[in-house]
Chain A
Amino acid sequence: MSNENIMEIIKESIVKVDKDTAAQAVENALKEGFGPVEIIEKGLSPGMQKVGDLFERGELFLPQVMMAANLMTGVVNSLQEKMPEGQSAEKQSVVVIGTVEGDVHDIGKNIVKILLSVNGFEVHDVGRDALLTSFVEKAKEVGANIVASSALMTGTMEGQRELETLLRDAGIRDRVKTMVGGAPATEYWAEKIGADAYAENASEAVSKARELTAAK
């Protein structure tokens, strides 16, 4: 089996959410001498990338994306155990995401989270109705590159502005980029409160996050 071929099989197994084929192909790849990192970077990740593209084009539905993401996480976890000490996949950009205090709407936030992780971001979720301080603490703890907040109500979006202040007070605002979203947020709102980016939907969130981290 050629190298490309085996990576292609792994990639397709993610797209098709085919657990057995994924397990088999990964095992074969390891036997053929591929390293865990190579398998993640050349097989699994491009698979998830394709899932994201297909979702954006309306060819895959959310449940398929979620199942693919679960499969990918499972396989990556099992590969991580096999990784030699000190070696790891290329350090991904780290995102802390959550829905602001007072707001329980988290469906949109969850979709953004999935698409970000599908596209290679390491995402930490502080949940919904999340204390603004928990965004800050989490960001410090995981060394976040991006802090992303979601607000679905006109009455709670003020939290996105407060978060800017809290990040500044904690002295980490210049180390992270901030991104805001949710139905009432706009480009103008982001500008006004000094956030670095706004995205209208999940796929735009991914491209904005890429821009933000490329610029770092």
Chain B
Amino acid sequence: MVKANIPAGQEHIEGLGLEMLNNSDLRLIHEATMEVLENIGIETKDPEALQLYADAGCEVDFEKGVAKIPEYVVMDAIRSSPSRVRLAAVDKKKDLVLRSGPYVNWAPFGVGIEFLEFDANGKHRVRASTEADLKKSMTICDWCDGFSVADPTIAARDWTENGRADLHEVSTALCNTTKPFTFGEPEANGFEDYFEMAKLVYGGDEELARKRPLVNVCNCPTSPLQICDNSTQITIRAARNMIPNVVISMSMAGGTGPVTPEGTLVTQNAEVLADIVLAQLAEKGAPVTYGTATTIMDLRNGIASGGAPEMALFSAAVAQVSRFYGIPCGDAAGCWTDSKVPDAQAGFEKGLTAMVPALAGANLIFGGGLLEMGQTISLEQLVIDNDVIGMINSMLKGMNITDSRILMDDIEEVGIGGHFIARASTRKAMSEQSSPLVFDRNMRGPWEKKGEKDAALVAHEKVEWILENHDPCGLDRDVVKDLEAFVARRDKEFLK
């Protein structure tokens, strides 16, 4: 069973937590952001978006495509953004409600373009990802109880030239998980098709398809301070259809943001808020979440580092900033790495970047399965990350110092010497203990007997087991056929 909304220790809630920014820090970030939005503004070439900004009272230069957004417009938008966003699932029981409090959930990464193939000898090679890989990845994410959502992690590149790759991805997702998901690379003009597919899942029930949208979307502003047409249109269309829209800034400090994390925190805040303002102007109350994949540009080679400690700081800061605004925080980057294979570097960077935003109470942390800053996905890494997530969830519980938890009766009864292993209290609380699936906790002897396997190899065996034994599909056979037929029709049109 998926564990949802694990609280990190904040305010009155028990558990372990971290508050990096205090209230005056948050005020300062907010005020600086308002300076930026009012005086510099945001650029977009989309006339519809510019008109929405203008009608709301922004100072808009239609020729240059710049909207300067006054604070009251931003504050109105923040007020009308919901504090809870429901991500609906094929299986209603698995709906995830993102709440703007310190409640932690986990997502895999999306959307990579390379697939790391692993063989039983621990050898790997990388190649362009396919629809079949995506199906496997969906199955793994559906099975792993660390992930509350099962976002499509890789592109169906075998379809980019031969059909509508985006629809293949959406259909593969719908057919291979009963968890909610966000589609990471939506096309603004694909919305009707995504809706039609959700309708097929609901047996043609249009009202249900509107009420419980299944294809949530994501869009990224272009740093610094721009939103491209595809993004503005995704935001507007998602809002008008009340489809949850995950807004993620991917600013790079030193490249597309100021070199200091503090400065980039401000510019990325301006970008995300401008996008959220647009959503609220298109439709008051539109479900949006505040995300981040902001990190540093490594100034030696220009890459966006996914394993940098600075990324963890950004995600932790964004968790607080979004909570300050009362908007759920998702997706925030965490459990990321720059490593190309599931190795020591991956383990450390992932642990580090997952832990810090979790302690800060980010509501949806995404990165599971990711390697090479998001370029590459590995099924083995998904299973390993599931363990990383489980262990961090255990840590978030912190210690809850109460009389009942101290178990004084047991202490007295066992007294000096003896042991607690066979106590009723021990058996009762057994499941509270952290228990990773692939991380080995044996001493050397038993480990040697089991074949001296490292975590990646154990994960590989687990992957094979899941693929063999887990059926992730929650749809009737007929619905699957309908979806396939729908996509095939669109493929034909695409090729014409």
Contacts and interface: CB of A to CB of B under 8 A. Distances in A.
Interface in A82-117: 102, 104, 107-108, 111
Nearest to A153: B185
B299 A158 contact: no
B113 A184 contact: yes
Given A153-B185, A154-B165, A184-B113, A61 B160 contact: no
Contacts of B301: 58, 62
B113 A62 contact: no
Contacts of B185: 153, 155
Interface in A137-162: 153-155, 157-158
A170 interface: no
Main SS class of interface, B: loop
B112 to A, nearest CB: 10
B300 A107 contact: no
A30 interface: no
A104 B227 CA distance: 10
A62 B299 contact: yes
Contacts of B299: 61-63
B222 A154 contact: no
Given A154-B160, A183-B375, A108 B300 contact: no
Interface in A43-72: 58, 61-63
B300 A158 contact: no
A62 B157 CA distance: 32
Contact of A108 (B187, B228, B252, B302): B302
Contacts of A158: 160-161
A129 interface: yes
Interface string B260-271: 000000000000
Q: How large is the interface on B (under 10, 10 to 19, 20 to 34, 35 or more residues)?
A: 20 to 34
Q: How large is the interface on A (under 10, 10 to 19, 20 to 34, 35 or more residues)?
A: 10 to 19
Interface string B288-313: 00000000010111101000000000
B255 interface: yes
Nearest to B160: A154
B10 interface: no
Contacts of A153: 185
A61 B300 contact: yes
A184 B161 CA distance: 13
B255 A107 contact: yes
A129 B161 CA distance: 20
A111 B302 contact: yes
28 contacts: A58-B300, A62-B299, A62-B300, A62-B301, A62-B302, A63-B254, A63-B299, A102-B230, A104-B222, A104-B228, A107-B252, A107-B255, A107-B256, A107-B297, A107-B304, A111-B302, A153-B185, A154-B155, A154-B157, A155-B165, A155-B185, A155-B187, A157-B160, A158-B160, A158-B161, A183-B375, A184-B128, A186-B128
Interface of A: 58, 61-63, 102, 104, 107-108, 111, 129, 153-155, 157-158, 183-184, 186
Given A61-B300, A107-B304, A154-B165, 9 more contacts: A58-B301, A104-B222, A107-B252, A154-B155, A154-B157, A154-B160, A157-B160, A184-B113, A184-B157
